[in-house]
Structure 1
Amino acid sequence: MQQLTPEGHKIVSDLSMRYGVSTDAVTHMLFAVLNGNGTMAQFNHPEFAGSGQWMQGGMIMLGDMFNHGLKGSVDGLCNELSSLLANQPGLLRSGSFQSQSQSSGGQQSQASGAPVGNCSLFVPDPRNNWYPSELGAPTSTGSQNNVRYAYFADARRLAVETNGDVWVYDTLDHQIGGFSQQQGMGGSITFTSQYGTVNLASLPVMFRNGQPVQQTTPVAQPTSSSNATPPQETTENARTGTQSEILDAIGRLGKLKEEGILTDEEFTEKKAELLARL
């Protein structure tokens, strides 16, 4: 179980006094909301009438079903805890960034009176810091299948982890809002930005596992397959194939000129266009 920071203990204590329950009850509900990804909680604590369930939007089930005062307290507490967790980078995960945590510069709705801010609730777990530390705190995070994402809007970087490999992309001028992944092994990854749906492969790869990636064009994205071709190899193979195709095309143009189908001027013009692509 994650450990609370001193700031986290202070917040729990404040909620305990305001809702008239013990710190143990608040802590129990905090982890219940966390396990419900911030939108629901299944709990079992005597101060909340035993076992019960809370869902964001007002659906509450308690052992003491006619205790409307307790229902109101549980709903208020859970909403504050949900808002609090939403401001903790990397805690709440889904296949899209749109519902994920935001940095201090992002806009987040929160319940009135919620003791949220730039504090950190939990002691960091080193196992969760899979992205390069120099990128700082992510604007938003998410996961889908066996792929994890961390978006750093200010640094214009995107970190993607799959099969133990960490890829860092330059996001250019994209303002990323969400991700999706096709099902099955090797499924392609796309993201949404102000330009619509974009393939991840269109972004330049800056680093792979901490090592710089030398390239001249955007390269293939990581996939869920462990046999994915390294970016540099993909770029070199593509360049070799392009050169071969252009040289073959020039050879065919030469034959057309020899057969009188192309004039010298037309041959020279087409040849120049092809050579410009090398």
Structure 2
Amino acid sequence: MQLSQKLFQASAWLRYWLEAVNEHSLHAPFVYQLYREVIRPQGPSLPAVEQLRRELLESGEWLQLQEMGAGSSLTTNNKRPVASIARHSLTPARFSQLLYRLLQFTQAQTVLELGTSLGLNSLYMAAAIPAGTLYTIEGCPQTAALARRHVELQQVTNIQLLTGNIDQQLPQLLAQASPQLDLAYLDANHTYEATLRYFGWLLPHLHPQSVVVVDDIHWSAGMQQAWQELCRHPSVTLSLDLYEAGLLFFRPGMQAQQYVLEY
């Protein structure tokens, strides 16, 4: 990671720390309920998935990565240990748990994930929607193959994992399956252009109760700019900045609001 990006992230974190509020500053009933029931709580932990996380952190396996987006911020070597990918690319367990709680809170049934990685968030989200379907797209064939292996080992049957460039796979999925998405999780190709492009493709498939989760909104100046533009989009009525990720809501009857929340 370049020094300029490290300095940007440090500055973004400081701004977040200074601006973030908790439930004592929340007066909108929906936001207060969401904070108390989804953002503030801890768990649930999925023991089998967390055991998999521990195994990946100690894995001696290597992957030949095919980077599709912004690439690794740690190395330009595309052959990397699985343990290193798990250490630096997986979201923390508490964020996987947040996704689980959010899906249960919104009673989502049709969910899309862009950027499967090793599949741990996929497993958490699939567990939260046992009667629903999780579509997940991974650009790197070897990473997708490993994630598919994890899904099979966990005996999860409600995940449809697609492999290939999201710019090709996502329009095909939306055209063929025509899903109305209850939640979309964007965790791939962390660039300004790709983030706005994906959102534009997803927008016709969202409904007033949908949620879009955007990962790494302060990862770079470009991602932060994309997040700010998404917050101002006419269809967005509520945006929540958790620093690690941002949540976008489209609920009718709400005056457009933006919050920076302690997480």
Length-normalised TM-score, structure 1:
0.24
Length-normalised TM-score, structure 2:
0.25
- Rg larger in structure: 1
Larger RCO (CA within 8 A; separation ≥ 6):
2
Return the structure number with greater helix share: 2
